[in-house]
Structure 1
Amino acid sequence: MPPYARIAADLRRRITEGELAPGDRVPSTRQVAAQWGVALATATRALAELRREGLVRAEPRVGTVVAEPPPALPPPPGAAARPGDRARLTAPPSRDAEAARRRPGAGAERELTRERVVRAAIEIADAEGLPALSMRGVAARLGVAAMSPYRYVGGKDDLILLMADAAFGELGYPGDHPEGWRERLEIAGRTLWAIFRRHPWLAQLSPLGRPLALPGLTVHADWALAALDGLGLDSATVLDVHILLYSHVQGLAINLERETQIAAATGLSEDQWMDVQGPALSAIAGSGRYPAFAKVIGELGEDGYDFRLDDLFELGMRLLLDGVTCLVERSVPPNGD
Protein backbone atom coordinates (compact mmCIF):
# COMPACT_ATOMS: atom_id res chain seq x y z
CA MET A 1 0.00 0.00 0.00
CA PRO A 2 1.52 3.40 -0.95
CA PRO A 3 2.25 5.87 1.88
CA TYR A 4 -0.63 8.24 1.06
CA ALA A 5 -3.08 5.32 1.17
CA ARG A 6 -1.79 4.20 4.58
CA ILE A 7 -2.21 7.72 5.96
CA ALA A 8 -5.70 8.02 4.49
CA ALA A 9 -6.63 4.61 5.90
CA ASP A 10 -5.52 5.59 9.41
CA LEU A 11 -7.42 8.89 9.33
CA ARG A 12 -10.43 7.14 7.80
CA ARG A 13 -10.43 4.66 10.67
CA ARG A 14 -10.28 7.44 13.26
CA ILE A 15 -13.25 9.16 11.61
CA THR A 16 -15.45 6.08 11.15
CA GLU A 17 -14.75 4.90 14.72
CA GLY A 18 -15.73 8.30 16.12
CA GLU A 19 -12.29 9.27 17.40
CA LEU A 20 -12.61 12.33 15.15
CA ALA A 21 -16.16 13.72 15.20
CA PRO A 22 -17.87 15.98 12.61
CA GLY A 23 -16.38 19.48 12.83
CA ASP A 24 -13.12 18.31 14.45
CA ARG A 25 -9.93 19.47 12.81
CA VAL A 26 -7.86 16.79 11.18
CA PRO A 27 -4.08 17.19 10.98
CA SER A 28 -2.97 19.82 8.47
CA THR A 29 -0.79 18.97 5.50
CA ARG A 30 2.34 19.95 7.39
CA GLN A 31 1.27 18.05 10.51
CA VAL A 32 0.57 14.93 8.46
CA ALA A 33 3.95 15.24 6.75
CA ALA A 34 5.73 15.60 10.10
CA GLN A 35 3.75 12.89 11.91
CA TRP A 36 4.14 10.24 9.21
CA GLY A 37 7.53 11.38 7.92
CA VAL A 38 6.40 11.90 4.34
CA ALA A 39 6.66 14.69 1.76
CA LEU A 40 4.08 17.48 1.65
CA ALA A 41 2.82 16.17 -1.69
CA THR A 42 2.12 12.76 -0.11
CA ALA A 43 0.30 14.40 2.81
CA THR A 44 -1.74 16.52 0.41
CA ARG A 45 -2.72 13.46 -1.60
CA ALA A 46 -3.85 11.62 1.54
CA LEU A 47 -6.13 14.48 2.59
CA ALA A 48 -7.40 14.85 -0.98
CA GLU A 49 -8.37 11.17 -0.90
CA LEU A 50 -10.51 11.76 2.19
CA ARG A 51 -12.09 14.83 0.57
CA ARG A 52 -13.07 12.80 -2.49
CA GLU A 53 -14.70 10.27 -0.17
CA GLY A 54 -16.66 13.07 1.51
CA LEU A 55 -15.14 12.33 4.92
CA VAL A 56 -13.46 15.72 5.33
CA ARG A 57 -13.93 19.21 3.96
CA ALA A 58 -11.91 22.43 3.84
CA GLU A 59 -13.04 25.14 6.23
CA PRO A 60 -11.61 28.61 5.38
CA ARG A 61 -9.29 29.99 8.10
CA VAL A 62 -9.77 26.79 10.10
CA GLY A 63 -8.26 24.02 8.01
CA THR A 64 -9.49 20.57 7.10
CA VAL A 65 -12.30 19.29 9.33
CA VAL A 66 -14.38 16.14 9.52
CA ALA A 67 -17.46 16.49 7.33
CA GLU A 68 -20.99 15.94 8.50
CA PRO A 69 -22.20 12.46 7.49
CA PRO A 70 -24.82 12.32 4.75
CA PRO A 71 -28.38 11.58 5.86
CA ALA A 72 -28.78 7.88 6.52
CA LEU A 73 -30.91 5.93 4.08
CA PRO A 74 -33.87 4.11 5.62
CA PRO A 75 -33.29 0.39 6.15
CA PRO A 76 -35.07 -2.08 3.88
CA PRO A 77 -38.53 -3.17 5.03
CA GLY A 78 -38.25 -5.61 7.91
CA ALA A 79 -34.61 -4.75 8.62
CA ALA A 80 -33.60 -2.92 11.78
CA ALA A 81 -31.02 -0.17 11.54
CA ARG A 82 -27.89 -0.84 13.57
CA PRO A 83 -25.46 1.60 15.16
CA GLY A 84 -22.48 2.25 12.92
CA ASP A 85 -24.32 1.28 9.73
CA ARG A 86 -23.28 4.53 8.03
CA ALA A 87 -20.54 2.70 6.11
CA ARG A 88 -22.81 -0.25 5.26
CA LEU A 89 -25.57 1.60 3.43
CA THR A 90 -24.08 0.75 0.07
CA ALA A 91 -22.20 -2.31 -1.04
CA PRO A 92 -18.41 -1.86 -0.99
CA PRO A 93 -16.92 -1.34 -4.44
CA SER A 94 -15.02 -4.12 -6.07
CA ARG A 95 -11.23 -3.97 -6.13
CA ASP A 96 -11.25 -3.03 -9.83
CA ALA A 97 -13.85 -0.32 -9.25
CA GLU A 98 -11.90 1.07 -6.29
CA ALA A 99 -8.71 1.18 -8.36
CA ALA A 100 -10.52 2.94 -11.16
CA ARG A 101 -11.93 5.50 -8.72
CA ARG A 102 -8.48 6.27 -7.37
CA ARG A 103 -7.00 6.86 -10.83
CA PRO A 104 -7.31 10.35 -12.32
CA GLY A 105 -10.34 10.10 -14.55
CA ALA A 106 -10.54 11.06 -18.19
CA GLY A 107 -13.70 13.03 -17.41
CA ALA A 108 -11.90 15.16 -14.85
CA GLU A 109 -9.13 15.83 -17.36
CA ARG A 110 -11.62 16.93 -20.02
CA GLU A 111 -13.38 19.27 -17.59
CA LEU A 112 -10.15 20.89 -16.39
CA THR A 113 -9.81 24.63 -17.03
CA ARG A 114 -7.51 27.38 -15.81
CA GLU A 115 -10.34 28.71 -13.65
CA ARG A 116 -10.78 25.35 -11.92
CA VAL A 117 -7.04 25.08 -11.28
CA VAL A 118 -6.96 28.56 -9.77
CA ARG A 119 -10.08 27.97 -7.67
CA ALA A 120 -8.71 24.68 -6.30
CA ALA A 121 -5.45 26.40 -5.39
CA ILE A 122 -7.33 29.20 -3.60
CA GLU A 123 -9.31 26.64 -1.60
CA ILE A 124 -6.08 24.95 -0.46
CA ALA A 125 -4.48 28.27 0.52
CA ASP A 126 -7.64 29.43 2.33
CA ALA A 127 -7.87 26.24 4.36
CA GLU A 128 -4.23 25.41 5.05
CA GLY A 129 -2.17 28.50 4.20
CA LEU A 130 0.06 29.34 1.27
CA PRO A 131 2.99 27.12 2.43
CA ALA A 132 0.74 24.07 1.92
CA LEU A 133 0.16 24.92 -1.75
CA SER A 134 1.85 22.78 -4.40
CA MET A 135 1.09 21.96 -8.00
CA ARG A 136 0.88 18.27 -7.11
CA GLY A 137 -1.55 19.08 -4.30
CA VAL A 138 -3.76 21.05 -6.69
CA ALA A 139 -3.79 18.09 -9.08
CA ALA A 140 -4.72 15.73 -6.25
CA ARG A 141 -7.55 18.01 -5.17
CA LEU A 142 -8.91 18.07 -8.72
CA GLY A 143 -8.48 14.32 -9.20
CA VAL A 144 -6.23 14.67 -12.25
CA ALA A 145 -2.72 13.62 -13.18
CA ALA A 146 0.10 15.45 -11.40
CA MET A 147 1.27 17.26 -14.54
CA SER A 148 -2.19 18.26 -15.82
CA PRO A 149 -2.33 21.71 -14.14
CA TYR A 150 0.85 22.67 -15.98
CA ARG A 151 -1.16 22.76 -19.20
CA TYR A 152 -3.01 25.79 -17.81
CA VAL A 153 -0.41 27.59 -15.65
CA GLY A 154 3.34 27.86 -16.00
CA GLY A 155 4.14 26.80 -12.46
CA LYS A 156 3.53 27.64 -8.83
CA ASP A 157 4.69 31.27 -9.10
CA ASP A 158 2.37 31.91 -12.04
CA LEU A 159 -0.43 30.14 -10.21
CA ILE A 160 -0.06 32.34 -7.12
CA LEU A 161 -0.34 35.49 -9.25
CA LEU A 162 -3.49 34.14 -10.89
CA MET A 163 -4.88 33.27 -7.46
CA ALA A 164 -4.17 36.76 -6.15
CA ASP A 165 -5.74 38.43 -9.19
CA ALA A 166 -8.86 36.30 -8.85
CA ALA A 167 -9.11 36.86 -5.07
CA PHE A 168 -8.67 40.64 -5.26
CA GLY A 169 -11.25 40.73 -8.03
CA GLU A 170 -13.97 39.00 -6.01
CA LEU A 171 -15.30 42.26 -4.56
CA GLY A 172 -15.80 45.48 -6.50
CA TYR A 173 -17.29 48.93 -5.95
CA PRO A 174 -20.70 50.51 -6.49
CA GLY A 175 -21.40 52.38 -9.71
CA ASP A 176 -23.02 55.23 -7.79
CA HIS A 177 -20.31 56.24 -5.37
CA PRO A 178 -20.72 58.61 -2.42
CA GLU A 179 -19.80 62.22 -3.01
CA GLY A 180 -17.57 62.58 0.04
CA TRP A 181 -13.94 61.47 -0.21
CA ARG A 182 -13.99 60.09 3.35
CA GLU A 183 -16.92 57.77 2.64
CA ARG A 184 -15.21 56.55 -0.53
CA LEU A 185 -11.96 55.80 1.30
CA GLU A 186 -13.91 53.98 4.00
CA ILE A 187 -15.47 51.78 1.33
CA ALA A 188 -12.00 51.06 -0.08
CA GLY A 189 -10.63 50.07 3.32
CA ARG A 190 -13.60 47.88 4.24
CA THR A 191 -13.60 46.18 0.86
CA LEU A 192 -9.91 45.30 1.13
CA TRP A 193 -10.37 44.10 4.73
CA ALA A 194 -13.22 41.83 3.64
CA ILE A 195 -11.02 40.34 0.91
CA PHE A 196 -8.09 39.73 3.25
CA ARG A 197 -10.52 38.21 5.75
CA ARG A 198 -11.62 35.74 3.06
CA HIS A 199 -8.09 35.01 1.89
CA PRO A 200 -5.53 35.69 4.66
CA TRP A 201 -2.64 34.38 2.55
CA LEU A 202 -2.91 37.46 0.29
CA ALA A 203 -1.20 39.58 2.95
CA GLN A 204 1.95 37.44 2.67
CA LEU A 205 2.58 37.93 -1.03
CA SER A 206 4.60 41.12 -1.44
CA PRO A 207 5.99 44.08 0.51
CA LEU A 208 4.63 47.58 -0.06
CA GLY A 209 7.64 48.58 -2.14
CA ARG A 210 7.00 45.78 -4.64
CA PRO A 211 3.33 46.01 -5.55
CA LEU A 212 1.80 43.26 -7.66
CA ALA A 213 0.87 44.36 -11.19
CA LEU A 214 -2.58 42.76 -11.15
CA PRO A 215 -5.80 44.14 -12.66
CA GLY A 216 -7.79 42.78 -9.72
CA LEU A 217 -5.64 44.73 -7.24
CA THR A 218 -5.47 47.88 -9.38
CA VAL A 219 -9.26 48.22 -9.14
CA HIS A 220 -8.89 48.99 -5.43
CA ALA A 221 -6.06 51.45 -5.99
CA ASP A 222 -8.03 53.26 -8.68
CA TRP A 223 -11.05 53.68 -6.38
CA ALA A 224 -8.93 55.10 -3.55
CA LEU A 225 -6.98 57.43 -5.83
CA ALA A 226 -10.20 58.70 -7.39
CA ALA A 227 -11.56 59.45 -3.91
CA LEU A 228 -8.56 61.70 -3.24
CA ASP A 229 -8.67 63.48 -6.58
CA GLY A 230 -9.48 67.19 -6.52
CA LEU A 231 -8.70 67.74 -2.83
CA GLY A 232 -5.68 69.95 -3.45
CA LEU A 233 -3.13 67.29 -2.56
CA ASP A 234 -0.11 66.80 -4.82
CA SER A 235 0.25 63.47 -6.61
CA ALA A 236 2.99 62.17 -4.31
CA THR A 237 0.86 62.85 -1.23
CA VAL A 238 -2.15 61.20 -2.85
CA LEU A 239 -0.06 58.06 -3.42
CA ASP A 240 1.28 58.24 0.15
CA VAL A 241 -2.25 58.30 1.56
CA HIS A 242 -3.31 55.39 -0.63
CA ILE A 243 -0.27 53.35 0.44
CA LEU A 244 -0.90 54.11 4.11
CA LEU A 245 -4.50 52.96 3.77
CA TYR A 246 -3.45 49.74 2.07
CA SER A 247 -0.64 49.13 4.58
CA HIS A 248 -3.07 49.51 7.49
CA VAL A 249 -5.26 46.76 6.07
CA GLN A 250 -2.42 44.50 4.95
CA GLY A 251 -0.46 45.01 8.18
CA LEU A 252 -3.35 43.73 10.30
CA ALA A 253 -4.25 40.98 7.83
CA ILE A 254 -0.74 39.49 8.05
CA ASN A 255 -1.67 38.35 11.54
CA LEU A 256 -4.64 36.34 10.25
CA GLU A 257 -2.36 33.94 8.40
CA ARG A 258 0.31 33.90 11.09
CA GLU A 259 -2.21 33.06 13.79
CA THR A 260 -3.50 30.12 11.74
CA GLN A 261 0.05 28.85 11.19
CA ILE A 262 1.06 29.20 14.84
CA ALA A 263 -2.15 27.58 16.08
CA ALA A 264 -1.53 24.63 13.76
CA ALA A 265 2.12 24.32 14.80
CA THR A 266 1.56 24.63 18.57
CA GLY A 267 -1.96 23.27 18.95
CA LEU A 268 -2.78 26.27 21.18
CA SER A 269 -5.54 28.81 20.63
CA GLU A 270 -4.94 32.50 21.40
CA ASP A 271 -6.54 32.11 24.84
CA GLN A 272 -4.53 28.99 25.63
CA TRP A 273 -1.32 30.68 24.57
CA MET A 274 -2.07 33.65 26.84
CA ASP A 275 -2.74 31.24 29.73
CA VAL A 276 0.72 29.75 29.20
CA GLN A 277 2.35 33.19 28.99
CA GLY A 278 0.37 34.62 31.93
CA PRO A 279 2.92 33.93 34.70
CA ALA A 280 5.78 35.44 32.69
CA LEU A 281 3.78 38.58 31.87
CA SER A 282 2.73 38.94 35.50
CA ALA A 283 6.36 38.68 36.58
CA ILE A 284 7.36 41.41 34.12
CA ALA A 285 4.53 43.68 35.30
CA GLY A 286 5.45 43.10 38.95
CA SER A 287 9.16 43.70 38.52
CA GLY A 288 8.83 47.48 38.94
CA ARG A 289 10.96 48.12 35.86
CA TYR A 290 8.06 48.90 33.52
CA PRO A 291 5.64 51.17 35.41
CA ALA A 292 3.51 52.24 32.43
CA PHE A 293 3.05 48.63 31.35
CA ALA A 294 2.21 47.55 34.89
CA LYS A 295 -0.29 50.42 35.25
CA VAL A 296 -2.21 49.50 32.09
CA ILE A 297 -2.22 45.78 32.94
CA GLY A 298 -3.41 46.54 36.45
CA GLU A 299 -6.23 48.80 35.26
CA LEU A 300 -7.52 46.06 32.94
CA GLY A 301 -8.30 43.97 35.99
CA GLU A 302 -9.46 40.38 35.88
CA ASP A 303 -11.33 40.88 32.59
CA GLY A 304 -8.04 41.46 30.82
CA TYR A 305 -7.71 42.63 27.24
CA ASP A 306 -9.62 41.17 24.30
CA PHE A 307 -7.41 41.23 21.22
CA ARG A 308 -9.70 41.66 18.21
CA LEU A 309 -8.30 42.44 14.78
CA ASP A 310 -11.66 43.74 13.56
CA ASP A 311 -11.74 46.30 16.37
CA LEU A 312 -8.18 47.37 15.61
CA PHE A 313 -9.10 47.75 11.94
CA GLU A 314 -11.99 50.06 12.85
CA LEU A 315 -9.87 52.16 15.21
CA GLY A 316 -7.07 52.43 12.69
CA MET A 317 -9.45 53.49 9.94
CA ARG A 318 -10.88 56.28 12.11
CA LEU A 319 -7.44 57.58 13.10
CA LEU A 320 -6.16 57.38 9.52
CA LEU A 321 -9.15 59.20 8.05
CA ASP A 322 -9.03 61.84 10.78
CA GLY A 323 -5.41 62.46 9.87
CA VAL A 324 -6.24 62.75 6.17
CA THR A 325 -9.00 65.22 7.08
CA CYS A 326 -6.41 67.47 8.74
CA LEU A 327 -4.15 67.11 5.71
CA VAL A 328 -6.93 68.09 3.31
CA GLU A 329 -7.97 71.05 5.45
CA ARG A 330 -4.39 72.37 5.47
CA SER A 331 -4.20 72.09 1.69
CA VAL A 332 -7.20 74.40 1.19
CA PRO A 333 -6.31 78.13 1.12
CA PRO A 334 -7.86 80.17 3.98
CA ASN A 335 -10.18 82.05 1.60
CA GLY A 336 -11.01 78.95 -0.38
CA ASP A 337 -9.15 80.39 -3.42
Structure 2
Amino acid sequence: MTLNRTGAGSPSTTLALLWGLSDEAPRRKGPARSVTVAQVVEAALTLADEQGLAALTMRAVAERVGISTMSVYTYVPGKPELLDLMVDALYARMERGAFDGESWRERVSTVAEENRMLLLQHPWMTEVAALSRPPLGPGLMAKYEHELAAFDDTGLSDVDMDAALTWVLGFVQAHCRAVHDARRATTDTAMSDAEWWRANQPILARAFDPEKYPRAVRVGAAAGEAQGSAWNEEPAWEFGLARTLDGLAALIDGRSLT
Protein backbone atom coordinates (compact mmCIF):
# COMPACT_ATOMS: atom_id res chain seq x y z
CA MET A 1 0.00 0.00 0.00
CA THR A 2 1.32 3.44 -0.93
CA LEU A 3 1.58 5.76 2.07
CA ASN A 4 0.56 9.36 1.35
CA ARG A 5 2.97 11.12 3.67
CA THR A 6 6.47 12.47 3.61
CA GLY A 7 9.32 10.19 4.61
CA ALA A 8 7.63 7.00 3.35
CA GLY A 9 10.01 6.35 0.46
CA SER A 10 13.57 5.11 0.23
CA PRO A 11 15.63 7.61 2.30
CA SER A 12 18.81 7.41 0.24
CA THR A 13 16.99 7.65 -3.08
CA THR A 14 14.83 10.55 -1.90
CA LEU A 15 17.78 12.49 -0.49
CA ALA A 16 19.71 12.04 -3.72
CA LEU A 17 16.78 13.40 -5.71
CA LEU A 18 16.18 16.29 -3.31
CA TRP A 19 19.77 17.44 -3.45
CA GLY A 20 20.30 16.76 -7.16
CA LEU A 21 22.81 13.99 -6.49
CA SER A 22 21.02 11.29 -8.48
CA ASP A 23 22.79 12.38 -11.66
CA GLU A 24 26.04 11.09 -10.17
CA ALA A 25 24.80 7.51 -10.62
CA PRO A 26 25.61 5.80 -13.92
CA ARG A 27 22.88 6.38 -16.50
CA ARG A 28 21.22 3.47 -18.16
CA LYS A 29 21.72 3.10 -21.88
CA GLY A 30 18.90 4.44 -24.01
CA PRO A 31 17.52 7.61 -25.55
CA ALA A 32 18.15 10.96 -23.88
CA ARG A 33 15.58 12.09 -21.36
CA SER A 34 12.86 14.29 -22.80
CA VAL A 35 11.84 16.02 -19.56
CA THR A 36 13.45 16.87 -16.22
CA VAL A 37 12.69 15.83 -12.65
CA ALA A 38 11.61 19.43 -12.00
CA GLN A 39 8.99 19.15 -14.76
CA VAL A 40 7.69 15.92 -13.29
CA VAL A 41 7.39 17.57 -9.86
CA GLU A 42 5.64 20.61 -11.35
CA ALA A 43 3.11 18.39 -13.12
CA ALA A 44 2.45 16.55 -9.87
CA LEU A 45 1.93 19.82 -7.97
CA THR A 46 -0.56 21.03 -10.56
CA LEU A 47 -2.50 17.77 -10.35
CA ALA A 48 -2.64 17.80 -6.56
CA ASP A 49 -3.69 21.46 -6.42
CA GLU A 50 -6.36 21.12 -9.10
CA GLN A 51 -7.82 17.70 -8.31
CA GLY A 52 -6.61 16.64 -4.88
CA LEU A 53 -4.32 13.90 -3.68
CA ALA A 54 -6.58 11.11 -4.96
CA ALA A 55 -5.88 12.22 -8.54
CA LEU A 56 -2.12 12.10 -8.03
CA THR A 57 -0.97 8.89 -9.69
CA MET A 58 2.21 8.15 -11.56
CA ARG A 59 0.13 7.51 -14.69
CA ALA A 60 -1.57 10.91 -14.42
CA VAL A 61 1.77 12.65 -13.89
CA ALA A 62 3.24 10.88 -16.90
CA GLU A 63 0.33 12.01 -19.06
CA ARG A 64 0.82 15.60 -17.91
CA VAL A 65 4.44 15.69 -19.01
CA GLY A 66 3.87 13.65 -22.16
CA ILE A 67 5.82 10.49 -21.39
CA SER A 68 4.85 6.88 -20.75
CA THR A 69 3.99 5.67 -17.27
CA MET A 70 7.01 3.39 -17.26
CA SER A 71 9.26 6.28 -18.27
CA VAL A 72 8.20 8.44 -15.33
CA TYR A 73 9.70 5.84 -12.97
CA THR A 74 13.13 6.57 -14.42
CA TYR A 75 12.82 10.10 -13.00
CA VAL A 76 11.14 9.33 -9.67
CA PRO A 77 10.99 5.76 -8.35
CA GLY A 78 7.52 6.05 -6.84
CA LYS A 79 4.80 8.18 -5.31
CA PRO A 80 6.36 8.38 -1.81
CA GLU A 81 9.53 9.93 -3.22
CA LEU A 82 7.48 12.20 -5.49
CA LEU A 83 5.55 13.54 -2.50
CA ASP A 84 8.81 14.44 -0.77
CA LEU A 85 9.96 16.32 -3.87
CA MET A 86 6.62 18.14 -4.14
CA VAL A 87 6.60 19.24 -0.50
CA ASP A 88 10.22 20.38 -0.60
CA ALA A 89 9.56 22.36 -3.81
CA LEU A 90 6.76 24.25 -2.07
CA TYR A 91 8.95 24.87 0.97
CA ALA A 92 11.59 26.36 -1.31
CA ARG A 93 9.03 28.78 -2.82
CA MET A 94 7.59 30.05 0.46
CA GLU A 95 7.74 33.78 1.00
CA ARG A 96 9.91 34.51 3.99
CA GLY A 97 9.36 37.75 5.85
CA ALA A 98 12.18 39.86 7.25
CA PHE A 99 12.63 39.94 11.02
CA ASP A 100 14.34 43.33 11.29
CA GLY A 101 13.60 44.96 14.64
CA GLU A 102 10.65 42.72 15.47
CA SER A 103 9.95 41.16 18.84
CA TRP A 104 10.10 37.37 19.14
CA ARG A 105 6.31 37.30 19.33
CA GLU A 106 5.99 39.19 16.03
CA ARG A 107 8.59 36.96 14.39
CA VAL A 108 6.87 33.75 15.47
CA SER A 109 3.52 35.16 14.34
CA THR A 110 5.05 35.75 10.91
CA VAL A 111 6.28 32.16 10.76
CA ALA A 112 2.83 30.90 11.71
CA GLU A 113 1.13 33.04 9.07
CA GLU A 114 3.57 31.92 6.37
CA ASN A 115 2.84 28.29 7.11
CA ARG A 116 -0.88 28.92 7.31
CA MET A 117 -0.89 30.50 3.86
CA LEU A 118 1.04 27.56 2.42
CA LEU A 119 -1.36 24.97 3.85
CA LEU A 120 -4.48 26.89 2.83
CA GLN A 121 -3.20 27.31 -0.73
CA HIS A 122 -2.30 23.62 -0.99
CA PRO A 123 -4.91 21.69 1.08
CA TRP A 124 -3.38 18.29 0.33
CA MET A 125 -0.27 19.33 2.26
CA THR A 126 -2.03 18.75 5.59
CA GLU A 127 -2.47 15.10 4.61
CA VAL A 128 1.12 14.36 3.65
CA ALA A 129 3.50 16.75 5.44
CA ALA A 130 4.53 14.69 8.48
CA LEU A 131 6.36 16.73 11.13
CA SER A 132 8.25 13.63 12.27
CA ARG A 133 9.69 12.78 8.82
CA PRO A 134 9.97 15.93 6.74
CA PRO A 135 11.69 15.92 3.35
CA LEU A 136 15.27 16.85 4.24
CA GLY A 137 15.89 18.78 1.04
CA PRO A 138 17.11 22.31 0.31
CA GLY A 139 13.60 23.74 0.58
CA LEU A 140 13.07 22.30 4.04
CA MET A 141 16.50 23.39 5.24
CA ALA A 142 15.97 26.98 4.04
CA LYS A 143 12.56 26.99 5.74
CA TYR A 144 13.96 25.57 8.99
CA GLU A 145 16.84 28.07 9.05
CA HIS A 146 14.46 30.98 8.52
CA GLU A 147 11.98 29.81 11.14
CA LEU A 148 14.60 29.14 13.81
CA ALA A 149 15.73 32.75 13.39
CA ALA A 150 12.37 33.79 14.83
CA PHE A 151 13.62 32.49 18.19
CA ASP A 152 16.96 34.33 18.15
CA ASP A 153 17.74 36.19 21.37
CA THR A 154 14.95 34.47 23.30
CA GLY A 155 17.36 32.68 25.63
CA LEU A 156 16.01 29.28 24.60
CA SER A 157 18.40 26.35 24.29
CA ASP A 158 18.83 24.77 20.87
CA VAL A 159 16.62 21.86 21.91
CA ASP A 160 13.91 24.19 23.19
CA MET A 161 14.08 26.31 20.02
CA ASP A 162 13.38 23.22 17.94
CA ALA A 163 10.59 22.11 20.29
CA ALA A 164 9.00 25.57 20.30
CA LEU A 165 9.02 25.73 16.50
CA THR A 166 7.54 22.23 16.25
CA TRP A 167 4.78 23.23 18.68
CA VAL A 168 3.89 26.30 16.59
CA LEU A 169 3.88 24.32 13.35
CA GLY A 170 1.72 21.65 14.99
CA PHE A 171 -0.88 24.28 15.91
CA VAL A 172 -0.85 25.67 12.36
CA GLN A 173 -1.26 22.22 10.83
CA ALA A 174 -4.13 21.30 13.15
CA HIS A 175 -5.89 24.60 12.45
CA CYS A 176 -5.56 24.19 8.69
CA ARG A 177 -6.90 20.64 8.84
CA ALA A 178 -9.95 22.01 10.65
CA VAL A 179 -10.36 24.69 7.98
CA HIS A 180 -10.23 22.11 5.19
CA ASP A 181 -12.72 19.89 7.04
CA ALA A 182 -15.11 22.81 7.46
CA ARG A 183 -14.82 23.83 3.83
CA ARG A 184 -15.30 20.22 2.71
CA ALA A 185 -18.48 19.98 4.79
CA THR A 186 -19.81 23.11 3.10
CA THR A 187 -19.01 21.69 -0.33
CA ASP A 188 -20.41 18.23 0.42
CA THR A 189 -23.72 19.54 1.76
CA ALA A 190 -24.01 22.52 -0.63
CA MET A 191 -24.89 24.58 2.46
CA SER A 192 -22.99 27.22 4.39
CA ASP A 193 -22.64 26.77 8.15
CA ALA A 194 -25.19 29.51 8.73
CA GLU A 195 -27.65 27.80 6.37
CA TRP A 196 -27.07 24.43 8.06
CA TRP A 197 -27.77 25.84 11.51
CA ARG A 198 -30.90 27.65 10.32
CA ALA A 199 -32.22 24.47 8.70
CA ASN A 200 -31.68 22.49 11.90
CA GLN A 201 -32.70 25.17 14.40
CA PRO A 202 -36.29 23.94 14.97
CA ILE A 203 -35.28 20.41 15.94
CA LEU A 204 -32.28 21.63 17.93
CA ALA A 205 -34.47 23.99 19.94
CA ARG A 206 -36.64 21.04 20.93
CA ALA A 207 -33.79 18.60 21.59
CA PHE A 208 -31.41 20.81 23.57
CA ASP A 209 -32.91 21.13 27.04
CA PRO A 210 -31.37 24.15 28.85
CA GLU A 211 -32.13 22.57 32.23
CA LYS A 212 -30.29 19.37 31.34
CA TYR A 213 -27.45 21.06 29.45
CA PRO A 214 -27.28 24.58 30.96
CA ARG A 215 -23.67 25.33 30.09
CA ALA A 216 -23.74 23.74 26.65
CA VAL A 217 -26.88 25.60 25.63
CA ARG A 218 -25.75 28.96 27.07
CA VAL A 219 -22.18 28.87 25.82
CA GLY A 220 -23.07 27.29 22.48
CA ALA A 221 -25.67 29.96 21.80
CA ALA A 222 -23.27 32.77 22.72
CA ALA A 223 -20.46 31.34 20.58
CA GLY A 224 -22.76 30.65 17.65
CA GLU A 225 -24.14 34.19 17.73
CA ALA A 226 -20.66 35.72 17.96
CA GLN A 227 -19.16 33.58 15.20
CA GLY A 228 -22.14 33.01 12.92
CA SER A 229 -21.63 29.23 13.24
CA ALA A 230 -20.31 26.60 15.63
CA TRP A 231 -16.79 27.24 14.36
CA ASN A 232 -15.29 30.15 12.45
CA GLU A 233 -11.77 29.89 11.08
CA GLU A 234 -10.66 33.50 11.62
CA PRO A 235 -11.61 33.82 15.32
CA ALA A 236 -10.28 30.30 15.88
CA TRP A 237 -6.97 31.25 14.29
CA GLU A 238 -6.59 34.50 16.20
CA PHE A 239 -7.47 32.90 19.54
CA GLY A 240 -5.34 29.79 18.99
CA LEU A 241 -2.26 31.70 17.81
CA ALA A 242 -2.50 34.13 20.72
CA ARG A 243 -2.73 31.27 23.23
CA THR A 244 0.17 29.47 21.53
CA LEU A 245 2.30 32.60 21.87
CA ASP A 246 1.17 33.04 25.48
CA GLY A 247 2.37 29.52 26.19
CA LEU A 248 5.77 30.30 24.67
CA ALA A 249 5.91 33.53 26.66
CA ALA A 250 5.72 31.53 29.87
CA LEU A 251 8.92 29.79 28.76
CA ILE A 252 10.72 32.75 27.20
CA ASP A 253 9.92 35.64 29.53
CA GLY A 254 12.73 36.11 32.02
CA ARG A 255 15.21 34.39 29.72
CA SER A 256 15.22 36.95 26.90
CA LEU A 257 18.57 38.59 26.30
CA THR A 258 16.91 41.71 24.87
- The TM-score with structure 1 as length reference comes to 0.57
Within 1, Cα distance between the matches of 2:215 and 2:93? Answer: 44
Q: What is the CA distance between 1:117 and its match in structure 2?
A: 1.3
8 Å CA contact retained: 1:285, 1:297: no
User: Cα deviations across residues 165-203 of structure 1 (Å, max 9, x unaligned)?
Assistant: 011221132466334222221211111111111111111
Of 122-131 and 242-251, deviating more is: 122-131
8 Å CA contact retained: 1:184, 1:227: yes
Say whether 1:321 aligns with 2:245: yes
8 Å CA contact retained: 2:62, 2:69: yes
Within 1, Cα distance between the matches of 2:205 and 2:43? Answer: 46
- 1:1-337 matched pairs, under 5 angstroms: 110=34, 112-174=35-97, 177-259=100-182, 266-271=188-193, 274=197, 278=201, 281-286=204-209, 288-299=211-222, 300-301=224-225, 304-305=228-229, 307-331=231-255
8 Å CA contact retained: 2:37, 2:76: yes
8 Å CA contact retained: 1:203, 1:250: yes
Letter of the 1:328 partner, please give it.
I
Q: Gapped runs of 5+ residues in structure 2?
A: 1-32
Say if 1:154 and 1:327 are closer, same or farther in 2 by CA, change over 3 A: same
Within 2, Cα distance between the matches of 1:184 and 1:331? Answer: 17
Of 178-187 and 297-306, deviating more is: 297-306
Instruction: Specify the structure having the higher radius of gyration (Cα).
Output: 1
Within 2, Cα distance between the matches of 1:220 and 1:280? Answer: 49
Q: Partner of 2:25 in structure 1?
A: none
3-state secondary structure, aligned to 2:252 = helix
- The TM-score with structure 2 as length reference comes to 0.72
User: Cα deviations across residues 283-335 of structure 1 (Å, max 9, x unaligned)?
Assistant: 55336432211002333459842733243223222222233233222336xxx
Q: Partner of 1:38 in structure 2?
A: none
Letter of the 1:228 partner, please give it.
F
Letter of the 1:318 partner, please give it.
A
Say if 1:150 and 1:279 are closer, same or farther in 2 by CA, change over 3 A: farther
Within 1, Cα distance between the matches of 2:65 and 2:207? Answer: 51
Within 1, Cα distance between the matches of 2:148 and 2:121? Answer: 24
Letter of the 2:137 partner, please give it.
L
Letter of the 1:315 partner, please give it.
F
Which structure ranks higher in relative contact order (CA pairs < 8 Å, sequence separation ≥ 6)? 2
3-state secondary structure, aligned to 2:154 = coil
Q: Aligned pair count?
A: 223
8 Å CA contact retained: 2:220, 2:230: no
- Aligned-residue CA RMSD in angstroms? 3.0
